[in-house]
Each structure stands twice: as C-alpha cells, then as structure tokens.
Chains A and B, each alone.
Chain A
Amino acid sequence: MTDVGTLKKFRAKIIDMAVRSGSAHIAPAFSCLEIVYTLYTKIMRVNPKNPRWEDRDRFILSKGHGGLAQYVVLAHLGFFSNSLLDGYAQPGSMLGGHVTLGASGIEASTGSLGHGLAMGEGVAYAAKYDKKSHRAFVVMSDGECQEGSTWEAIMGASSFKLDNLVAVVDHNHVQSCGPIKDVLPSFDPLSDKWRAFGWAVREVKDGHNVKELESILKEVPFEKGKPSVVIAHTVKGKGVSFMENVPIWHYRVTNPEETKQAYKELGQEVAIDK
C-alpha cells in the first residue's frame, strides 16, 4: 500500500477508535499523522521486536492529545497488536486519551502541554554524555509553543549544543479556542523565535506531504552543535473536509452521520455504528 493509502486507512481507524470510546482528539491526531508516520517509518531507528533497544532513537509526543496518531503507527509497525487499538480509552486499556507509559513503544507520559521538549532535552543530554549516537525526537503542537516551559527548554537545549535533539512543531495554526492569529496575535513569526533562541530551523510547507517531510528530516542535524526544529505547516483535521480548520473538532467525536461521511471521504469501508 502507498503511504497515502496507508494514511487514509489510519485516519479511518482513528475515527473508529474515537467512536468506540466516545472521546478523542481527532483533529489534533490528523494534523500530526504524517509527521509521526514519517518519523517512525523513514527517519528513526527503532525496533518493534526490541522496543527497549539501548541505541534506539527516542520519540516523545509532547502534544499527548494527538496520541491516536502515535497508536495507529505503533500498531502498524508491530509494537503491539491492532486489537489494542479497539479498546482505546476504554476500561482496562493501556491506550488513553493522552499518551501514557505502558504500551510498547511509548517512551514518555504526556498530556499537559509544554513538558515534552525538556524531557527530550534530558534524553539528548544523557546520550551525548554517554557518547551514544541515538537521538531524541519530540513532536509538539504549535499551541504548546505558548508555554513558558517550552521556551525554557528551547533555550536550554541550544545552550547545551544538543544537535541530537530534533523538535517537529505540528503548526496547524488552530488551537482549542480558535485560530492562533486571533487568540495570540504575537505568536508569529514562530521560526524567527526558535532561530533567535539558537536552533537550526527548517520549514515544511506541506506537513502532510511525506516526501517533503522525509527529505527535510533526513538532513538532521541541520547544523552541527545546534538542535534542529522543523516547523511543519499542517491542517488541523486534515483529510476530512468538515473537520479541516474547524476548532470544535479539537475534541469532538463524530455522530453516526458524520462518521459515515468521514469514511466515505477517506474511501474506507469500515463498519460503523460500533
């Protein structure tokens, strides 16, 4: 199956999981799906058969509410079985509404924004100290670039010259209450801010284009002695027309009619009314 086909299948599965559990952040998962997929399948050194392999690259989904994207990719790679996905956020499940340690392949518990980058910084620092070649990849939301703690970590990581740390900002331009430009007009220019804090910055125009993501991410570190950040422009709710750029889909779950429509757009024949 092509990447595009696989990703459509993932989106349908995410809707299926959301409907089964009755609670999910669908649109935030859709906006970072290609980023997570590209990192896991084309960039990072990971081994599903040996998930705690010492030299693996570490992945932290700092925007823990996008966990559905990570879960479908981990299942796809065989970190755990697809059946685990079906129980998402239901009693007894290891997979929750925010990424939590437990299931194979999960490196960190997240959920509160602005925590992941500092953890990635510590992981990268330890790798340098131990003279190891593994890297720390942290996928963040643009919303969490409003957290002061994020900027503490940004300043720290560049001060410590952690060029084995890579942040990818899922810049979908929409936060929980509306477009970022309306909520916090001073948010942009985002790239300039990271650059001013000592990071090597690249922008990805289409954060849903796997080839574009891959070609840029393959180049990390962008500069020796500097941590790398990719600002990937994405669309919140990407892939389902009525979800795209509509803030309510930050946390809303589809009703049966919407579910049917979403499956149709994704070209999937997944059973509905579960």
Chain B
Amino acid sequence: MKKSLKRLISAISIASVLLFWYLITDGLHLFSSYLFPSPVAVFKAFVNKLTVTVPDGGTLFTHLVASLQVALYGYFLGIVIGVPLGILMAWHRKVDLIVKPIFDLIRPIPPVGWIPLMILWVGIGQSAKAMVIFVSAVTPCIVNSYTGIKQTSQVHLWVAQTFGATRRQMLFDVAIPSALPMIFSGLKVSLGASWMALVAAEMLASTKGLGYMIQMNRMVGRADNIIVGMLMIGVVGAILSAILGLVEDRFVKGRHV
C-alpha cells in the first residue's frame, strides 16, 4: 500500500471519529451534554480554561506547571538514586546478594499503594507526591541498569582486562556504555510510570495539578474540563517521552534494544 494512501485513510479515520463524536453529541443529542460534551464544547472549554480559574482554582497553565514540577522532581530523584544503585548491584556481588532480596520484597507493591503511607508520613503537600513518584520511577531504573550491566559481553571485559584496564575503567569504559541503551529504556518506562503515579497522587490528595483538576471537575460534573485535562495529561506525557527520545539519540551510540 502506498504511503500517501495510508496517510489519507488515517486522516479520514481521525476525521470520522471526530465527526461521529460530534454527531452523537451536538448533532443528535444522544447524550446529555454534561456527561459527554461535543468536540466543539471541549475545544471551548480548553480555550476557556487557559484564563478562567473556576471551578478548580487554577488555570490550565498553573495546574500544568504544578504537575510538571512535582513529576520532574520525583523523577530525577528516582534516576539519581536508581541508576547508580542498579549499577552498583550488578557490579558488586556482595551488594547484589544483600540488596536484591530486599528489593524483590518491596518491588511487587505498586507505587499507587504507597500513597496513603506517604501522605501519613509527610502530609498531602508536594513532598508526599514527589516521594510516590520517586518510588514509581526508581524501580524501572534499578531493574534496567542492573540487567544492562549484567548483560555486558564477557569478551569485551576480557579484552579490557588483557589491555590492563583497571576495574574502574572496565566499569566506566566498557560496562556502562554498553548498558546505556538498556538504561535509557528504563528511563522511558520510569517516565511513563511517574506521570501515571502523579495523576493518581493528585487525584487522591492535592490542591493543584492536572490530576486534581480532573478530579475536581468530576465533583462538579464538568465533563468538558475533565476531557481537556485528560488530553493535556496525554499530550504532555507524549511530549516528555519525545524529549527523552531526543536525549537518547544524542547520547546512546550504536545498537538499540
């Protein structure tokens, strides 16, 4: 099939979904507009939300900034702790033997499950959310860095050793570079997980942020604002992972996993 034809079908597909959405809402009024607003109403709500703070106490922009701040804070904390810990676990056998059982014990608890404990410990402020995001970001970072280092080709290490590399050089010049693609895919998984944990944490206890915005609008029955919030969460999530993809292209040379 030709690429242009495929594009055409895709465009028609999206257009017909929008048209169908418009037809069942504003066109035929099958659903009440407060439950299922039309695309036009959602667009109006979007424009409106850029300046108006009712009913959730903030414009779209303030919510977005609040969410981004917490998410990135928790995420970077997760990277800064998770990646070195994963590398350490894979490189030093004793650390592996001791830390891994404890890590495996805690790992199956989904990050969302930590929310109540974190709120009880540090309150409903930004730091509780940052901690929850940290928990969700740190796991994939550890797992992927660990696996990445463990998968270092033994032959490469032998070669380095033969040429007289110290153990430190073997780690920084052989093992880490060859683990980078794996580490980066961990960073990507982490990013998705943090963004999701953020939404959950904000829905449960918060006073601003995109998750708070959609939750508040549910309470007042404004589906148009909920959909604006959801689309915003989706778009920002996609943009963040695209940025990470660009960083990866810059730093990771050679093979991709």
> Do A and B bind?
no
